[in-house]
Amino acid sequence: MILDLIKKPFKKIQQHSMIYEVTLKCNLNCMYCYNVCKNKEAYPEGELDTDKSKQLLDKIIKETGCTNLTFTGGEPYLRKDIFDLYRHVKDKVFSINVISNGSVLNEDMIKESIDCGIKIFELPLLSSERDIHNSLVRGNSFDRVTESIAYIKSNAGRVVTVFVATKKNIHTWKETIEMALALGADGIMFNRFNPGGEGANHIEELLPSPEELHIALDIANKAVEDYKISIACSIAMPPCIIKTEDYPNLGFGYCAAGTERAYYTVDPIGNLRMCNHSHLILGNLFEKSFHKIARNKKAKEFMNAHPEFCTDCKIVKECQGGCKATAEVCYQNVYLEDPFLKLNKDIAIKK
């Protein structure tokens, strides 16, 4: 016991998954985008060349021990060397996934990605209605996305569709599930709109109400039973506002900052952040090891923070009071409630 306590501070941190933002450039300007480069506060720009990016990838894998590596952006397929980077890590991790907006993919790119070891493509399917999807991405990507999904499936790849639930599209959720199934999606993510980046400019316009979310979750819960598909809700929905126990068929995620299942995110130049929603730079992997950065003062403060409102709640440690990264981005204070909790705390029933 005593030996364990002595050993604990020296124990290496091992992560299951890491996220690598290979570029911050994007060809779209989605209303709901939480990307750090869209924040009001400036974020460091730039990209590494291919060799340096490979060095960074090696560091990420070696120092974190991650088995899953997710490439994201910006739009990762805007990088010309993306396949070279996939190939570089192909045999070094168990699975490589990619989060893309799907608008620049074609059949050759999809085939090559699968050859390079991409196990899951995560693409947005924001509505079964072309116009609604396109209005949210402020572009004409709907047909490209659905074609991309079809190409992935016809090349025996796996795809998870992502529905960002906003006021503008939530009424088409049921039909969007059906469309995802029709296209052969292997899983569906239901992410409530989480303001940040460009999304922080559209909170009132996009943030769904608890009532709207309850209706959508009822639909999702039933769809899992009817269609035997997996639906995960990875953006935190505090149980004091959304009764998650009413939806036993759905997977709910809470902030995992600092745990083995956290989604530490590395930006294009090697800066480490707590997750892809957070804009707080903890340190740079070319300057210090992951082990040191992930336990520094900034990281610990983020991990231990929760809104004052939640202090007397019995499940605060598990729930963490919603999305701290969003509170940090929208209000520059990790101890404040995120917008969803802030706007709805008058109806909260604490545990």
Q: What distance in Å separates the CA atoms of residue 321 and residue 318, rounded to the nearest whole number? A: 9
Quote the distance between the C-alpha of residue 154 and its chain's center.
Answer: 26
Q: Coil, strand or helix: which one is 240?
A: coil
Per CB under 8 A, 340 contacts other proteins: no
Per CB under 8 A, 254 contacts other proteins: yes
Neighbours of 162 (CB within 10 A): 21
CB of 190 to other proteins, least distance (A): 12
Q: Which structure tokens are listed for 65?
A: 């021990």
Beta-sheet strands, E only, within 244-285 = 251-252, 265-266, 271-273, 281-284
The dihedral built from the CA positions of residue 276, 326, 194 and 313, taken in this order, carries a sign that is positive
Among 74, 196, 197, 239, interactor with other proteins by CB under 8 A: 239
End-to-end CA distance of the chain: 33
User: Measured from the CB atom, is 180 or 293 closer to other proteins?
Assistant: 180
- Print the binding letters for residues 76-115 with other proteins: x by CB under 8 A, - otherwise: ----------------------------------------
User: Measured from the CB atom, is 112 or 186 closer to other proteins?
Assistant: 186
Stretch that binds other proteins, among 97-105, 209-217, 229-237, 293-301 (CB under 8 A): 229-237
Kind and range of the H or E run holding 206 = helix 203-206
Among 150, 219, 281, 348, interactor with other proteins by CB under 8 A: 150
Which value, in Å, is the radius of gyration of the alpha carbons in the chain? 20
Q: Which structure tokens are listed for 182?
A: 């029709």
User: Measured from the CB atom, is 53 or 141 closer to other proteins?
Assistant: 141
Q: Coil, strand or helix: which one is 173?
A: helix
Per CB under 8 A, 128 contacts other proteins: yes
Among 227, 288, 335, 345, interactor with other proteins by CB under 8 A: 227
Chain residues that interact with other proteins, rule: CB under 8 A? 16, 128-130, 143, 146-147, 149-151, 153-154, 156, 158, 175, 178-179, 181-184, 186-187, 227-228, 230, 232, 234, 239, 244-245, 250-254, 256, 259-261, 315, 318
